[in-house]
Amino acid sequence: MCGIAGIVSQSGHTTAAQVIPLRDALTHRGPDAAGVWPKDLNEPAYCALGHRRLSIIDLSEAGRQPMSNAKGTVWITFNGEIYNYQSLRAELEQRGYRFRTGTDTETIIYAWECWGTDCVKHLRGMFAFAIWDAPRRQLFIARDRIGKKPLFYTQQGDRFLFASELQALLADAQTPRTINKIGIDRYLTLGYVPAPDTAFAGVYKLPPAHSLLLKLTPAGFSQSLERYWQLDYSPKHKMSEAEAHVALREQLTEATRLRLMSDVPLGAFLSGGIDSSIVVGLMAQLSGERVKTFSIGFADAAFDETAHARRIAEKWNTDHHEFIVKPQALDLLPKLVRHYGEPYADSSAVPTYYLTQLTRQHVTVALNGDGGDESFAGYERYFGNRVAEWMHAVPGAAWLAKNLGRCLPDSLHPKNRLRTAQRFLSVATMPMAQRYAHWVGNFHEADKLELYQREFAAQLNAEPQPDYLATLFAALPGYDPVDAAMSVDVQSYLPFDLLVKVDIASMANSLEARSPFLDHEVMEFAARLPLSLKAPGLKQKNLLKQAFADLLPPANVNRRKMGFGVPLGAWFRHELRDFTRDVLLSQSARQRSFFNASVIERYVNEHQNGQADHAFRLWNLLMLELWLQEFRPRL
């Protein structure tokens, strides 16, 4: 796992020295070694590449990057792991390619020489890489299918820059710092800025499962963006429940086995939930050593899962490490804002940072259960989507739901069942994309009309954009409501929220995170499983629980999903009470031309006085304001 950066110049006047500031802004991603190409720091070139290394496979000097082919004509800087590199290497050797190292990096170079832009279709793993093909004067950048590894880029005049993180691009003085208002609008709705946009105008994320070929021509840069993979939910497999159990077991076991490949100490995150428990169980069966497991908890019992994690640790006799978090949010928040580089409002980034920090004290690689929910129907909203569609088809059901929702009392406790029911019924009659936005979002269209100042709203209206979520749902005609919601999650919430959270938090602590459930072959198999097997009725993760019943204590299976949350509501009334007022109601915040200060003040007062629960909205606004203070973008 590493950090990568590079600059391509149409004029041929870039130098390796210009890449060093970008590269070294990524030191946390790769503290073990640093490299640049060309070796002569001041040699003019069309392309210069930088690399920071976190040594995982082949710890020798042979694994240093940037790396070239035998002729020195093709160069690569690579972040990630290719889990099938040994079988891929054998295939390439049969085709006549000769290898000098034992790295997966070199395999990508010869895959490029063999298959060109199709090389990505042969890779099984997580990756973001850039290949400079000098004879063709071409730069090829690519990102893995699911979006585990990030890649940002910008073009400014005759220069094209790319890097693993935004803060690396910002180390170049020419990278634009003008705010992207459309990105901010989507951030307020979703809590993240979805690709290809970022919070900065003119700076982009390469979307998951995409590659970009940049050619230097006499007329200037020529860019070709291509999507090379998409998860397909049809046709469905025709198999019995017993056959599905066996096939799923084989698929996930193999994905876990591949992710045990490491030349450094390895362990696992363990929450006590279904997904991480299965991964730990498989690791215990596959490994010849005691598995090292890591859990964190909270003093607030409503958010604490340590007892459930401990039960799994005892079952498999793991070398278990546990840490009760007493978050020092005031100390941690500025650090998180800097590392994420753009506004990011998932509060579980706080415990995730602490978990990766604890884990890195003992191992360099950790497996996790990410992706199980999105493939095996683990969220209540999937079934809410199914029930809501059923209501639309039954005369009178929608009217009854809407009126019943008005009668139910709201609650200040985020895990209250009545609150969940009220939240579902209040939007059940909406079109699918709109109700999904209400379930996953913080600010809805009516909220933003009230929140935005007239000038900011006018600027957004002057550049009308298609509704992001509605566009995703519109591309899924005929999908079952559960499949539709899972597909949208895989294309949005998973890559731009969950995977960003884990990548940034883990790499900030120089830790590599691996996810067997996110193996693309596992996901392809799961997507084509009939919902009658995978999630019959309203049963979450039904097939997963049955296929791995021997690995899961009943007490861990038969409990409500908790998620990896934090007690935000209480924080804003206690630990963060004064800090929130000082930041959101400051003179500098009031002077910005975005929001009506009176609306934000109302949110703060109502929440802190116990009149309403605005915790997620306040967190969203707080992280945005801290980002504005840290990066000072031009408005």
Sheet holding 159-163, edge to edge: 33-37, 47-53, 2-9, 159-163, 152-156, 203-205
What's the alpha-carbon Rg for the chain, to the nearest Å? Answer: 24
Q: C-alpha 266: how far from its chain's center?
A: 21
DSSP assignments along 27-62, one per residue: GGG-BSEEEEESSSTT--BSEEEEEEE---S--SGG
**What is the DSSP secondary structure assignment for residue 175, as one 8-state letter?**
S
DSSP E strands, 490-532 = 512-514
Looking at the DSSP bridge assignments, the partners of residue 213 are 140, 224
Catalytic residue among 2, 47, 114, 119: 2
Q: Which amino acid is at 380?
A: E
618: nearest Cα among 627, 632, 608: 608
Q: Is 407 a catalytic residue?
A: no
Instruction: Tell me how many helices (H) and strands (E) the chain has.
Output: 30, 17
Residues whose CB is less than 8 angstroms from the CB of residue 602 and which lie 6 or more positions away in sequence, other chains included: none
Interaxial angle between packed helices 181-190 and 454-462, expressed in degrees from 0 to 180 and rounded to the nearest 10: 110
Interaxial angle between packed helices 329-340 and 499-508, expressed in degrees from 0 to 180 and rounded to the nearest 10: 110
**Rounded Cα gap, residues 433 and 468, in angstroms:** 9
**Rounded Cα gap, residues 51 and 30, in angstroms:** 8
The pairing of beta strand 365-367 with beta strand 266-269: parallel
The pairing of beta strand 512-514 with beta strand 365-367: parallel
Distances 629 to 348, 447, 449, 586, 589 between C-alpha atoms, Å: 22, 24, 24, 11, 9
The Cα angle at residue 64 between residues 225 and 287, in degrees rounded to 5: 90
**Rounded Cα gap, residues 359 and 255, in angstroms:** 22
**CB atoms near residue 361 (< 10 Å):** 11
Distances 279 to 262, 263, 353 between C-alpha atoms, Å: 16, 20, 21
Active site residues: 2
